[in-house]
Structure 1
Amino acid sequence: MKQLSLDVLRSFVTIVDVGNFQRAGEMLGRSQPAISLQIKKLEQQVNKKLFNKVGQGYQVSTDGKWLYEHAKQMLKINDNIFRELSIETLRGRMRLGIPSEFASALLPSIIGEFSQRYPDVSLDVTSALSKHLLSNAQQNKFDLILALLHPTQTPHHENLEILREDELVWVGDKNRNLPTKNLPLVLAPEDCIYRSRVISQLKQQTHAWKINYTNPDFYGLMAAIKQGLGITALAKSIVPDELEIIRDKRLPNLGSINICLLNQDTQHPQVSQTLANYIRARIGVN
């Protein structure tokens, strides 16, 4: 059974990346003759010419380009294995504060994967409005807080990181038509950033509207929407499959919102940073 050497593949990928045998050797701590010998043996093994001589240099061949893409994948798998298995076992209690709509969208996958990977970490999750989570009275009760801020708001904490700017959109039941009169709304209580944006934008236009239902819980709002009580607003990235984005000329543009992460854990910093990385990945931050 033939086997490719990952060490040789790494040399090959490095040559393609930097465009030069000598520079690749310098980066990998090998002489140019040693690098050239590796490539010669690799070409013999796969029975393909991987580089074509052009002038005084070499250019990767068509077969070489094909191998380059697959070699990168093999090296990535190898590096991920060692990176994951070299992580020390994490232990501790992690207190996470998160808005309820993000909890329903993110936590099922995060909790399952994170808890399976780190079974000795105890997660204590609280769902509440962003304003309450970031308040002086509540903020210190959490190690990690995911929250929403208006783009014009200045982060009041040095460790508060803006993960991404997201569009605010109108959402409703995909099986129900929007009423022609008195736009019905389903909203969270006062202090909700969605509610304040919806009302401020609706007040700037002439169409009639009314709040039919108020509930601090995201699942309660979804149930009300499914019962036909009205529509609401959400960050576009977390709109559930059961609802659809509504585009209607009667509905004003809601602008955007900043999704932020506050990491203030000092007792278990490695645990906090690891969970923060899981959240970044789900939010779409590299």
Structure 2
Amino acid sequence: MEIDALKSLLAFVETGSITRAAKQVNRTQSAVSMQMKKLEQDLGKTLFEKSGRNLMLSKEGHQLVGYAKQLITHYDSTLNAIKSHNTKLRIRLGCPDDYANTILPKVVRNMHSLWPDLDLQIRCLPSNVIRQQLDSGELDVGIVTRSFDSEEGLLIAKDRGVWVCNGDTQLAKQTPLPLVTFQQDCRFHHAAIEGLHKQARQFKLIAMSGSVAAMHSIVKEGLAIGAMASLSKGDLVELCNEQLPDLPQISIVLICNAHANSFISQQQLNQLGNCF
């Protein structure tokens, strides 16, 4: 078995997609598919099964993943020890702005506990951009909202969407309803807008922003009500209004790219998530 093929396998496990795995390991999709077929030939086992339109690991595939992580960890740690003795570990971490005050500090604390000489670089970006930069190799680790109907990443927290105001509950009764949301890729944006349309309720979108600070300032000023994660509401007042659409539950996860899997073991990743 080739180490590169095992790294491609782990990239598939992490992303759930041959296409994204190929981007992370800098190969074509067909080249990664050939690597997977070669692994099956070497082992004489079927490593993948079809589940509807999705490709899933078989029982033997799951077994191989466990051994592959150990092999790659030992292989890369050996290379790193020889090539870069006394060199600081650099990790580029992506985190959505709305988790910067709550989730991020705990992950950073755990990172420095694991790697005291860590060179940590943080970028605040939306979850979809973090995934893109993981695939392109611009980031190593990401804190993201788990994609709908996905099991990606290591679960570190669960949360729910809430409606918030500055304490003036009359805002929620205005017509049109003044509203501020995160940008269109946000689960709460989609749920809020779609829910209001289904209710045939008139609303005015005061602003969309990728910044939780901007949303807070607009809501505090009494210009709008907002839809966001409970973790992000800070000192804003949660609206308990049955006439407003329900907002979804979310899962927050840690995800790595194929490169990061070479220097972050599964045990270390689990330790990073143990702050919750």
Same fold per superposition (TM over 0.5): yes
Per-residue CA deviations over 1:211-242 (Å, capped at 9, x if unaligned) read 11222111111111111121222223x13431
Indicate conservation of the 8 Å contact 1:213/1:229, yes or no.
Answer: no
- Hey, what does 2:170 align to over in structure 1? 178
Task: Assess if the C-alpha contact under 8 Å between 2:99 and 2:232 holds in 1.
Answer: no
Identify the residue that residue 209 of structure 2 maps to in structure 1.
Answer: 215
Q: What's 1:148 paired with?
A: 145
State the SS of the aligned residue for 2:237: strand
Distance 1:90 1:221, change over 3 A: farther
- The residue type equivalent to 2:96 in the other structure is P
Q: What residue number does 1:234 align with?
A: 228
Distance verdict in 2 for CA 1:230–1:118, change over 3 Å? same
Query: Given the two structures, how large is their TM-score scaled by the length of structure 2?
Result: 0.58
- Residue 250 of structure 1 is aligned with which of 235, 243, 257? 243
Deviation at 1:195, TM superposition (A): 1.1
Matching residue of 1:41: none
CA-CA distance at 1:90 after TM superposition = 10
CA offsets 1:133-181 (integer angstroms, 9 cap, x no match) = 1237855322111111354x335x6xx23445432221222x3223222
Displacement of 1:276 in angstroms is 5.7
Q: What secondary structure does 1:213 align onto?
A: strand
The secondary structure found in structure 2 opposite 1:203 is helix
Contact 1:90 1:118 in 2 (8 A): no
Distance 2:192 2:246 in 1: 9
Whether the 8 Å CA contact 1:172–1:232 is kept in 2: the answer is yes
* d(CA) in 2 for partners of 1:97, 1:137: 9
Is the 1:146–1:260 Cα contact (8 Å) retained in structure 2? yes
Is 1:193 the equivalent of 2:187?
Answer: yes
Question: 1:224 is matched with which residue?
Answer: 218
Distance 2:194 2:125 in 1: 22
Tell me how far apart the structure 1 counterparts of residues 256 and 164 of structure 2 sit (CA, whole Å). 31
Moved more, 108-117 or 221-230: 108-117
Shift of 1:260: 2.2
Q: Which runs of 5+ in 1 are unaligned?
A: 1-88
Distance in 2 (alpha carbons) for counterparts of 1:90 and 1:244: 47
The 5 A counterparts of 1:70-219 are 91-111=88-108, 114-115=111-112, 118-135=115-132, 140-151=137-148, 153-155=149-151, 160-173=153-166, 175-179=167-171, 180-181=173-174, 182-219=176-213
Q: 1:266 aligns with which of 232, 244, 261?
A: 261
Q: CA deviation at 1:132?
A: 1.7
Higher relative contact order (CA 8 A, sep 6+): 2
Amino acid of the residue matched to residue 164 of structure 2? V
Mapped contact 1:185–1:210 kept (Cα < 8 A): yes
How many equivalent residue pairs? 187
In structure 2, the residue matched to 1:47 is none
Q: Distance in 2 between matches of 1:194 and 1:112?
A: 28
Deviation at 1:123, TM superposition (A): 1.0
CA distance in 2, matches of 1:205, 1:129: 28
Deviations 1:10-33 (A, max 9, x none): xxxxxxxxxxxxxxxxxxxxxxxx
